[in-house]
Structure 1
């Protein structure tokens, strides 16, 4: 059983969920450890519905969830925005006595925030005896995504006052909060904190900086951040394209897209949305139609 558990865990963590499931299905005895591994593995691979099916099967077979299992089940609900199922799991967690567990509580905060139930997320957050950086991040990102940037920024200050140090995800949430309320000066202060923390080279933090500067009206600062990034992924390239489109710099946007293609950067529907927006602002109907046909050829529309 211990060898089987380790095999399932290894395959799941390496992203080979089919191999994990094959080993799992062959095991004659399955304890809560292996059930937790297979549930978390499906969540990691973006198969939230399957993870919930497995959690039901586990309990039908008489295996009681532990905190790790509950984290996996709650994360599965979050990944598919299954609020009703998440509330049911929350009730089960309360009955099991695991609500005060930091990891379980943080997962619940994240699930409610991702499902758009920010008030419920706040209630769980406030009831936790101790909040880790995961819970703080979930609340900051949750408020930022709901357009409550000032509340998110207040929480980030409170977090640091209580001695919890920001990580890259925290800074992404803080920058999103600044962008949501066009708080340029606060955004510049956040960038200073990012530099001091040594996270300026993080590609997701850099992409969020570009987006924040663009939404706060400073496309020049967005360009400077983009140029200083040691490596840029699709998110960073698309963020810069979106900055040009937002401010009506159509020629720069089209040139930027051309460079993306030349450098082999992956293109998605968000990239084309920004590109078509740039064409619309500049009245470039023919160019917009050409890009739309190109998008259609890549099966990114319809």
Structure 2
């Protein structure tokens, strides 16, 4: 009855695993994960901003990653939780397009940023004498700007096209947010040409960055193996392992969703992959970097000491 009174241009978000009988358990779990992600990323940004020892290119890029993750998880979870508690599943055409745009912007910006972070580690380990020159503050700002602007421009293209495909019949999106593959399934026209555009874009924004990251870490590992200092090599490997963990989680699910046609995987598979990328990864990022990083832990203890006094 409620859906009949909704605007005909509205979409209906069916939510996360609509067939699951105990949806309240999913909502509680999501709220728990969101709280951890929001707190963890906020603390990491605050520590990097307050502690002068963390005012380095690596931590500047890490603060940008935390900012992206903070916005990334906030672009989907609050709306989903609000829909659950209000009982309203509709989302307007404009709101859906806006959510899709910001989601894609943040996702693509993270792909670019993770690649730039790999380059930063490559320069630090393989060319340390030129590190301060190659990674000066101006270059770091340009890197951050490239990630945000590049992500926004590509997202604009991939928002305009899918949102303008004609929709026949049901406007129900079998997802918990407005995601591209889920929207494409509603279209009643041939989208094979756009699928090819999407495939090419995925190569540029996913496979190429992933390849560059693998090349960077291959060179890093080769350099580390030649190090005489075991302490130095262990520190380098620990930093690289943190980054590789994030890369594996993020790129794995993104390649699965966007490198294959929308018709080749089920909505449930899309949702599982999306949960890994948009909810789990933003929660794990600050935990991975802080728990495996002595400098971040030191800054946290220092901050606690100040607060205690």
Shorter-chain TM band: under 0.3
Relative contact order (alpha carbons < 8 A, sep ≥ 6): 1 or 2 greater?
A: 2
* Greater gyration radius: 1
TM-score by length of 2: 0.25
